[in-house]
Structure formats: structure tokens, C-alpha cells
Amino acid sequence: MIYRFGPFVLDTDIPELRRDGVPVAAEPQVFDLVAALIAGRDRVLSKDALIEAVWQGRIVSDATITSRINLARQALGDSGRAQAYIRTFPKRGWRFVAPVESGAAGSGPGPAPAHAEPPEASILVLPFKDLTAGGSGHLAEGLTET
């Protein structure tokens, strides 16, 4: 799924967050947190809902959640004061509040992914050096060829 908001595009299939077509560095939990907040943008998500969505129900501390919220805001250029994207609802949770357009991957205009997949996997093998005394080098050549 692709979500567009402000100068950002969040593509959950790749997964990648881009600002003006340039990838934004975000660790996986931060990316998952932003994706969960956007997917549930019609409601306030509680701590338990975020734990289920991001950490698959594992027990995490409040400090961990707060840290990831802060990193998500940082990745989006938001702040705890502005709350232009992620709004805190004290004692209730968080909600993604910016207008969002969504669509399937590959639908509509938008920047292309920053990377292209190679057509097939390949490997480069450098030549082997025959270190045996008086060896003919056939084994080393054969390994390199294969």
C-alpha cells in the first residue's frame, strides 16, 4: 500500500519512507509505527494497539514506545509541540492527523522507488591461485570457471 501525505510517500510493500522522492532513514520499528498510525488514522491508537501492531504483542516499556514515537516524529520533521503528523492524546494514545491519500502500489503518479531489483541474482568469483607445489592450476581454473 502507498500512502501520500505532505511531502512524504510511505510504501509498505518495499518498505520505504520518502520525502520529496528521497529515502528517509527510519529503523524498522519506526517505519512500522508510522505505518500503523497511518493505517489507523481514523481513531486514537492506544499503547496496547501499537504494541500489537509494531511489536506483535511482545512486552515493551513505555519508554520504548515514547522513544519510537519521538524517532517517528523526527523522521517526519514533526515535533512534540507542532504535532502536525502525530498527535498525542494524553492517557489515551496517538493518532496520525495529517491528510493522507492512499492507493495500491504502482497506482497513480509518484516518484519511482529509489532502487531497482536486478533481473536475477549473480555472483562474481575472482580467480583462485594454485598454491600447491608444482601444481598445474587446473583445479583453480575449474573452480573459477564453474
Q: DSSP string of 51-91?
A: HHHHHTT----HHHHHHHHHHHHHHHT--TTT-SSEEEETT
What's the confidence (pLDDT) of residue 119? Answer: 56
Return all residues near 126 (Cβ < 8 A) that are at least 6 apart.
144
CA 112/CA 11 separation, integer angstroms: 11
Question: Do 94 and 88 touch, CB atoms closer than 8 A?
Answer: yes
Q: What is the pTM of this model?
A: 0.69
Q: CATH number of 2-115: 2.60.40.420, 1.10.10.10, 3.40.50.10610, 1.10.540.10?
A: 1.10.10.10
User: 82-139 pLDDT, tens per residue?
Assistant: 999 999 999 999 999 999 998 876 544 444 444 445 556 666 666 767 777 776 666 6
Question: Is the CB of residue 10 less than 8 Å from the CB of residue 17?
Answer: yes
62-76 and 47-55 are packed helices; what angle lies between their axes, rounded to 10 degrees?
Answer: 80
- What's the rounded mean pLDDT across residues 45-58? 94
Q: Residue 133: what pLDDT? A: 74
pLDDT at residue 20 greater than cutoff 50: yes
Q: Is-contact 47 93, C-beta < 8 A?
A: yes
- CA pair distance 36, 145, nearest whole angstrom: 49
* Residue 45 DSSP code: B
- For residue 130, the model assigns a pLDDT of 72
